[in-house]
Amino acid sequence: MEKDENSNYYFSNSNFFWPVPGFHTITSPFGPRKTPTSGASKVHSGIDIAAPQNTVIYSVTSGEVIFTGFQGANGCTITVKSNNLNISYSHVSPTFLVFVGQTINIGEKIGNVGPKNIFGIPNNPYKDSNGNPTNGATTGCHLHLTIKKDGIAVNPLDFF
């Protein structure tokens, strides 16, 4: 890894920025898996990176924000379009720091890892064992990173 003048960490073998510097534990890899909670997919479309609530999330590449909102099992989500890639950051804080139509740069702060429980989302079907609404199909705080190339989910680790 290399460190730039802004104290941001890049992986030296790519032009992509790691979204949560200092946090590298993958708790659920890309591909087939045993579902961790009701509503989660048996084929994981991205990777889950363990990180505590409020951890800063940085854009992995430059592009345009095309979505911010609640997206079912993904919970609160930010999606950025960069050429033929759509990069989605899920289970983020519902206090969005970016807006649809905004152009962002690689390494720019775009959000924070969200809480497990979120309130005030109409018709949110996801609940924890206590009946409290969750940030999508999640068992705890983490960043779910999905990269779709030409509309097909690909392993995000292939870009780092």
Identify whether 91 is part of a domain: yes
The rounded mean pLDDT for the chain is: 87
CATH code: domain of residue 148:
2.70.70.10
Instruction: Give residue-wise pLDDT tens across range 76-113.
Output: 999 999 999 999 999 999 999 999 999 999 999 999 99
SS3 category, 159: helix
Residue 39 inside a domain? The answer is no
37 within domain boundaries: no
Considering its fold, how many domains does the chain have in total? 1
Higher pLDDT, 14 or 66: 66
What is the pTM assigned to this prediction?
0.86
User: What whole-number distance in Å separates Cα of residue 91 and Cα of residue 18?
Assistant: 17
pLDDT category at 12 given cuts 50, 70, 90 is very low
Both tokens assigned to 149: 């190339």
DSSP string, 29-80: -SEE---SSTT--SEESSEEEE--TT-EEE-SS-EEEEEEEE-GGG-EEEEE
* Model pLDDT, residue 93: 97
Asked if residue 36 is part of any domain, the answer here is no
Residue 130 in contact with residue 29, Cβ under 8 Å? Answer: no
pLDDT at position 41 is 54
Instruction: With beta carbons less than 8 A apart as the criterion, state whether 17 and 59 touch.
Output: yes
Query: 20 pLDDT band (50/70/90 cuts)?
Result: very high
11 has pLDDT over 70: no
Query: What is the Cα–Cα distance from 112 to 92, expressed in whole angstroms?
Result: 6
Where in the sequence is the domain holding 6, given as residue range(s)? Answer: 2-27+44-159
Retrieve residue 95's tokens.
């206090």
Residue 153 inside a domain? The answer is yes
Q: Strand, coil or helix: what is 158?
A: helix
- Summarised one tens digit per residue, pLDDT across range 45-83 is 899 999 999 999 999 999 999 999 999 999 999 999 999
- Residue 5 above 70 pLDDT? no
